[in-house]
Amino acid sequence: MPPLINGIHHVTALADNPQKNLDFYAGVLGLRLVKKTVNFDAPEVYHLYYGNETGTPGTIMTFFLYQGIQPGRNGKGMLNVTSFSAPVSSIEFWEKRLGHFGVEISSPKERFQSEAVISFQDPDGLRLELAFNEKDERPGYSNGLIPLEHSIQGFYGVEIWEDGTERTAELLTRQMDHRLISQEENRFRFAANDSPGNYIDIIHTPDSLRGLGGGGTVHHIAFATPDERTQLDARTRISDYNPTPVIDRQYFKSVYFREPGGVLFEIATVPPGFGIDESTKELGSALKLPPQYERYRDQIEQVLPPVSLKLEQY
């Protein structure tokens, strides 16, 4: 039977200032703003989506922007690091670019003998990495400021800290079509597909404090499933984890549940995608609201602070 889970769909984090968020992810990192909408459960809050040219699953970083949100704390029971993929030949380019914008970065370090990693944080303190590798064949996205040969190609993987790895590993391998592909000290790497964009690194950190949600932390990670049928089959597989009913998020359908360590997981359908209400050229250019909020557009637009992408400033 074909796998029900095909890898990472998106990662969603919490942040404070929408304009600073847009400046960093679309400006400094050069990701494309593929959708500007609202949190469907809190329409007074932006939900911004960044990715490649079309917002392909495995490239999509999203944010709930709560102005004034208190900072969270990284720790066990949370997804603490999100890694983006870039070519090995781009290390010097990204060291210079991040340094130019005052982003403090670590020295490159080798991991699994296949990737060189630099670590840094976004304006809210969200932990990020660039994983430079020769395995990623996906085309990057260039906004005209970053040469295409140096552009980010999507996610590389994520890092989850756990008190113990066994129960989460069992969920990933038995119910979610992943397999253990590498181990290095206390780092266990799982993947549904052994390719950049799909790596789930479980870090055994029993002595760390438990994480606290807030600004600069990840809210949830979503895994991709081909369609609504496979989503229902996957939901049946994870029935012991008390999954939610299927929820319509307009650009995909979602099922949520907590993995044994406490991280919020989502299973999201690949279709219909971000092109259902904007052309590829127009993606991210207008505020898009779900039908239930369209009649409140005037009130919502009055509450949301204006944001604008001005690439010339970068």
Q: Are 270 and 3 in contact (CB under 8 A)?
A: no
Q: Are 312 and 143 in contact (CB under 8 A)?
A: no
Q: Where are the domains of the chain?
A: 8-313
The token duo for 142 is 């260039």
Nearest in space to 89 (alpha carbons), one of 134, 35, 125, 144? 134
pLDDT of residue 144: 85
**Segments in the chain below pLDDT 50:** none
Beta bridge partners of 291: none
Could you read off the pLDDT of 41-84 as tens digits, one per residue? 999 999 999 999 999 999 999 999 999 999 999 999 999 999 99
DSSP H/E element including 219: strand 218-225
d(Cα 161, Cα 263) in Å, to the nearest integer? 9
pLDDT of residue 2: 82
pLDDT of residue 312: 67
Q: Which CATH class is domain 8-313?
A: alpha beta
d(Cα 118, Cα 86) in Å, to the nearest integer? 11
